[in-house]
């Protein structure tokens, strides 16, 4: 009886964990970026829209980089993000970070990271790898799967 009690205590305390479980380690982290909902056709002649929202406003981004913000008061304002000549936005990820809107988007053979002040709609854009996967946030930095790191401060 004492042996069974000791084995039970060891199993429940984690000492006798199977090697397979121990080797897996912690679960893989997921990116906080959210894929925007896409509306419209992907053909070259049709308009495509990406819809997403934050706690500040609702957003619609068109395939050519023209966007519209709808505030809680119902006021609508426009903004633009960088898109190369003859390029169309193909996918968009969004994240609200420190009151700003972070957008990751792919347009043609280019990837972009945009940071927009949601109040002034001032946008800063930088080019990233077009084959990006949504990054993780660690210590106020975006960490991409290809090893690229972008400071958010």
Domain ranges, ordered by start, for the chain: 26-151
Using alpha carbons, list the distances in angstroms from residue 116 to 22, 34, 99: 43, 16, 9
pTM of the model: 0.79
At residue 27, the pLDDT reads: 56
b/e map 9-22, b = 16+ CB within 10 Å: eeeeeeeeeeeeee
Q: Residue 100: CB partners within 8 Å, gap ≥ 6?
A: 115, 116, 117, 118
Assess whether pLDDT exceeds 80 at residue 71. Answer: yes
**What distance in Å separates the CA atoms of residue 69 and residue 74, rounded to the nearest whole number?**
9
- Can you tell me the mean pLDDT for 138-145? 95
Higher pLDDT, 68 or 84: 68
Supply the pLDDT for residue 153.
86
User: Bigger pLDDT: 108 or 5?
Assistant: 108
CA 64 distance to own-chain centroid: 20
pLDDT tens-digit series, residues 14-63: 443 434 434 444 556 899 999 999 998 777 778 999 999 999 999 999 99
The mean pLDDT value for 67-94 works out to 96
pLDDT at residue 22, as a whole number: 40
- CATH number of the domain at 26-151, please? 2.40.128
Confidence of residue 81 (pLDDT cuts 50, 70, 90): very high
Task: Give the mean model confidence (pLDDT) for residues 62-86.
Answer: 96
Residue 126 has pLDDT above 60, yes or no: yes
The C-alpha atoms of residue 53 and residue 103 are separated, in whole angstroms, by: 12
């Amino acid at each position: 009886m004492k042996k069974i009690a000791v084995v039970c205590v060891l199993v429940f305390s984690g000492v006798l964990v199977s090697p397979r479980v121990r080797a897996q380690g912690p679960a893989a982290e997921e990116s906080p970026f959210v894929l925007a909902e896409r509306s419209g056709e992907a053909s070259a002649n049709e308009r495509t829209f990406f819809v997403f929202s934050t706690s500040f406003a609702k957003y619609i981004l068109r395939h050519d980089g023209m966007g519209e913000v709808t505030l809680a008061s119902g006021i609508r304002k426009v903004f633009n993000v960088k898109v190369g000549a003859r390029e169309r936005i193909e996918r968009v990820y969004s994240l609200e970070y420190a009151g700003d809107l972070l957008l990751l988007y792919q347009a043609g053979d280019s990837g972009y990271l945009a940071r927009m002040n949601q109040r002034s709609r001032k946008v800063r854009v930088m080019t990233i790898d077009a084959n990006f996967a949504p990054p993780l946030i660690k210590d106020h930095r975006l960490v991409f799967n290809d090893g690229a790191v972008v400071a958010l401060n």
